[in-house]
Structure 1
Amino acid sequence: MKFISWNVNGFRALQRKMDVYSWLVETGADALCIQETKMHRDQVQFETPGYFQYWNEAVRKGYSGTAIFTKNEPINVTYGMGIEAHDQEGRLITLEYDNYYLITVYTPNAKRDLTRLDYRLEWGAAFTNYIQQLDRIKPVIFCGDLNVAHQEIDLTYPRNNSGNSGFTQEEREDFSALLSNGFIDTYRALYPDRTGAYSWWSFQFNARQRNIGWRIDYFVTSQCLKEYIIDAKILWDVVGSDHCPVELKLAE
């Protein structure tokens, strides 16, 4: 099975840059999970023969939002965590299959001045609890923009960014706590020492060309799926957003 995740930084903007459906077909992915759609479903024409579509939109137009395009129809679809305070921004879709859950997630940003850090941590704790409950039923695969560089190896300038949004001690510990509850950062499980592996770059200072970036997009799985992981990739050469897609291959 092949899954791809991508923060597209505006789905309509991405459509102006590339033929999204043709690219999806070309990848051969079983599912494409996207974040930051920045739209409501009725604002776009997008046909995907061979793929089912599921969208979760924010109450506020032009903000946040997630979607999944999948070849395999799920047995159940859940939007959000079932917590009203956390379900207003379209940040979560869960597809249930016979043997696993597939989740796309767009974790809230703490904001540059950290004014949303407290909310970000509340949301993170609720999300960890949510996936723990699912994991008790069947394995979980979740992916998306988690808005945190977990370790110093996951960004170019860790010392300069210490305490900044996305690299605060609190956010990093939140992700550590999630992993310690029985989950795997699939990329680091395979490539624990690989440097220069980033999925987001600022639009400024030719950061992408110079590979001055952050790894904040992840595929995370339940620990029990570790033996099924074939590969995890960062598709750095796919352009169209300030993020690039990330990919996970699992044995069936």
Structure 2
Amino acid sequence: MRLFAWNVNGIRAAQKKGFLDWLQREQPDIVGIQETKAHPEQLDDELLNPEGYYSYWHSATVKKGYSGVALYSKVAPKSVQMGFGFEEYTQEGRTIVAEYDDFVFITAYFPNGGRDHSRVPYKMKYKAHFLQYCNSLRKEGKSVIFCGDVNTAHQEIDLARPKQNVKTTGFMPEERAWIDTVVDEGYIDSFRLLHPDEEGCYSWWSNRSGARENNIGWRIDYFFISPDLKDRVVDAHIHADVLGSDHCPISLTLK
């Protein structure tokens, strides 16, 4: 079972850059999309109903062209939920929760703290409530997979210039500490499970000249799994060669 996540930085822009060709070539079983920047009524049938896939869309209502997540799935989930019970996040179109027979799959676009750090408190609230929700699913006996743009690099190995970015949102101590908590509670960073010490593995690069070419990036996109799924992990990969966004796709393969 091949699962993908990708912050496309605008699904319509990504479509022009070959997103649907990529989808048909890779044939993921499930793919979580972040930062769609679109409402379904703005999209053509090719994006809404690509061959072989069901699609689900959760768009921001606070303003158009902002945030938004989507889910493409070869098998229709048992249930699909937009958001996880908090209107302040739901209105920003940040989360889709899809339940399958053997796990709950969550695609999430975590808030950006902002250059002036004005959104860091909102980001930390979302993170806290999100983890509470995942834990509530586990208490019900469900396996959990959550993926997407967490907008935080965990360790120094996860960005090219850690020393220069300690005071930059995305690598501030309180943001990183949340991922520590996630790991302490048993969730597994699937990429680091298989590549614990591999350096230079990034999923996002600034649009500034030369950042991607010189691999001056950040690993801020993740697949986290609940511990009961650990033995099913076959592969976890960052597809840095795939263009079309300032992020690249990441994948998780399960038995």
The TM-score range, normalised by the shorter chain, is over 0.9
* CA distance in 1 between partners of 2:13 and 2:88 (Å): 29
* CA distance in 1 between partners of 2:154 and 2:51 (Å): 37
Residues 93-112 of structure 1 deviation map (CA, whole Å, 9 limit, x = unaligned): 01101111011000000011
Q: 1:17 — aligned with what? A: 17
Amino acid at match of 1:31: I
1:2-151 alignment, distance < 5 Å: 2-18=2-18, 20-45=19-44, 46=47, 47-59=49-61, 60-137=63-140, 138-151=142-155
Q: 1:171 — aligned with what? A: 175
Q: Is 2:244 aligned against 1:245? A: no
Residues 100-131 of structure 1 deviation map (CA, whole Å, 9 limit, x = unaligned): 10110000000111111111111100000011
3-state DSSP of counterpart to 1:218: strand
- CA displacement at 1:178 relative to structure 2: 1.8
* CA distance in 2 between partners of 1:66 and 1:192 (Å): 29
Match of 1:203 among 201, 207, 210: 207
- CA displacement at 1:21 relative to structure 2: 2.5
Amino acid at match of 1:49: E
* CA distance in 2 between partners of 1:160 and 1:6 (Å): 26
Q: CA RMSD in A?
A: 0.8
3-state DSSP of counterpart to 2:223: strand
Amino acid at match of 2:239: L
Residues 6-32 of structure 1 deviation map (CA, whole Å, 9 limit, x = unaligned): 0000001111111x2232121021011
Match of 1:192 among 191, 196, 202: 196
**If the length of structure 2 is used for normalisation, what is the TM-score?**
0.96
* CA distance in 2 between partners of 1:100 and 1:143 (Å): 13
* CA distance in 2 between partners of 1:122 and 1:37 (Å): 22
3-state DSSP of counterpart to 1:209: coil
* CA distance in 1 between partners of 2:120 and 2:73 (Å): 33
Amino acid at match of 2:6: W
Structure 2 residues not aligned, in runs of 5+: none
After superposing on structure 2, the runs of 4+ consecutive aligned residues of structure 1 that deviate more than 4 Å are: none
- CA displacement at 1:238 relative to structure 2: 0.4
| Number of equivalent positions | 250
* CA distance in 2 between partners of 1:39 and 1:73 (Å): 22
- CA displacement at 1:136 relative to structure 2: 2.1
* CA distance in 2 between partners of 1:177 and 1:105 (Å): 18
Q: 2:228 — aligned with what? A: 224
Residues 35-58 of structure 1 deviation map (CA, whole Å, 9 limit, x = unaligned): 000011100102312100000000
**If the length of structure 1 is used for normalisation, what is the TM-score?**
0.97
1:146-161 alignment, distance < 5 Å: 146-161=150-165
* CA distance in 2 between partners of 1:174 and 1:72 (Å): 32
Q: Percent same amino acid at aligned positions?
A: 48
